[in-house]
Amino acid sequence: MASPRTAAPATTATIPAGPAIFALAIGGFAIGTTEFAIMGLLQNVAAGLSISIPAAGQLISAYALGVVVGAPVLAALAARLPRKYVAVVLMALFTLANFSSVLAPDFGTMLVTRFLSGLPHGAYFGVAAVIAASLVAPTRRAQSVAMVMLGLSVANVLGVPAVTWLGQNYGWRLMFLAVALLGAVTVVLVMRFVPFQPVHEGAGIRRELGSLKRGQVWLALLTGVVGFGGFFAVYAYISPTMTSVTGLPESALPLIVGLYGLGMVPGSILGGKLADRSVMGSIHLVMAAIVLVQLLFWASAPVPWLAVPLVFLLGAAGSSLVPALQTRLMDVSPHAQTLAASLNHSALNCANALGAALGGLVIAWGLGYRAPALVGAALALVGLGVAALSSWLERHRAGS
């Protein structure tokens, strides 16, 4: 009998890519739901655990820390395992961690379960992206990756509002139970529809970590941290901006947040199509678009009929960057794609922290709620510069 390391991936040819990518996207939907829904239930969680709202906010930070830590560690440790089984194990861990949040009796335990829930996040998206890209023609890799990431975008439109409503009306712990059930469904679908692929010869922790020696990997990660920091600088303060500057009532905020998430859906699809034409060209174009949209939002925030459509464009512009960044990291680390793709999500969570911190800083300085849009534009402009440097170095090396 042939070993798993050398056996031909016969099932790859017999199982169509569509169901496999859909199965992986359901996992993204579950992850996106648990990551963002807790923000809408923060007051309920605080009351249920008898803690302050700022303390409850630490649960969000614990999840993000889990993503940053788990992405490189789990991706490296799983390097010698077949990718299908890695995806299954990661989603099983995600399911168990969310179910443990249902049962967590106190704040300390909940803090641990949220950290554990975040651990598989980046590694799952990394291995899912690599699997999806391997199932289609090279000219459709980024679109395939975008379809997996689409689960994250759709979660903001459907999953987050649904479980937020469920948690508000029937108990906030049901949010974690619903996510755990989604995780269990993903495990079943991945086992059924994702084809087995043998592990490449020579795969291992050393090869995966070797990708960190590549300067282009770090430049791609820096592009994501700085460029996406601009996206989060505005997103973190969208609610007070729309009420204090635009003048909308608080009752309109669910619609505004939903509009932001709705923009992420076509943004992800368009981003995949653009990246399949030119990965670096897509990054340059999208970064420039983010700068422009941020500046337009800053200028038009006091005008409701202009500001509201721009919320949609903010979501679309930001999400369209993800497929290109994911594909770029896979390209610049061909022998360690899983780790490189996983690190993208560590970078995005670092961007979340950076953008929110800098946006909060300019607000604290008394510059107002419009100021984070200028911070976002500046960060995106720096990200564009990093991407341009990466392209120049690549051309210079090719020509030497």
Weakest mean pLDDT among 26-40, 91-105, 328-342, 383-397 = 328-342
Average the pLDDT over 72-98 and give the result.
Answer: 89
* Residue with tokens 């199965």, as numbered in its chain: 23
Q: Of 39-43, 82-86, 206-210, 229-233, which one has max mean pLDDT?
A: 82-86
User: Number of helices and strands (H, E) in the chain?
Assistant: 18, 0
CA gap 30, 159 in Å, rounded: 8
CA gap 13, 197 in Å, rounded: 11
CA gap 340, 129 in Å, rounded: 11
CA gap 236, 214 in Å, rounded: 32
Q: What is the pLDDT of residues 205-247, one digit of tens each?
A: 666 666 667 778 889 889 988 888 887 788 778 878 888 899 9
CA dist 54 to 42, 50, 51, 160, Å? 9, 12, 8, 21
* Residue with tokens 């369209």, as numbered in its chain: 320
CA gap 356, 333 in Å, rounded: 30
- What would be the CATH architecture of the domain defined by 10-203? Up-down Bundle (1.20)
- Which of 71, 64, 87 minimizes the C-alpha distance to 344? 71
Q: What is the pLDDT of residues 259-314, one digit of tens each?
A: 888 888 899 889 989 998 998 999 999 999 999 999 999 999 999 999 999 999 99
> pTM for the whole thing?
0.78
Q: Where are the domains of the chain?
A: 10-203, 209-399
Q: Tokens for 306, please give them.
A: 């202009």
CA gap 1, 206 in Å, rounded: 28
pLDDT of 212 reads 66
Four-point Cα dihedral 305, 310, 315, 317, nearest 10: 160
CA gap 92, 89 in Å, rounded: 5
Asked if 10-203 and 209-399 have one fold, the answer is yes
pLDDT of 6 reads 37
Q: Does domain 209-399 have CATH number 3.40.50.620?
A: no
CA gap 330, 338 in Å, rounded: 8
Is residue 11 pLDDT above 50, yes or no? no
Is residue 186 pLDDT above 90, yes or no? yes
Q: What is the rounded end-to-end Cα distance, in angstroms, of the chain?
A: 48
Q: How confident is the model at residue 65 (pLDDT cuts 50, 70, 90)?
A: confident
Are the CB atoms for 26 and 193 separated by under 8 Å?
no
Name the amino acid, one letter, at 193: F
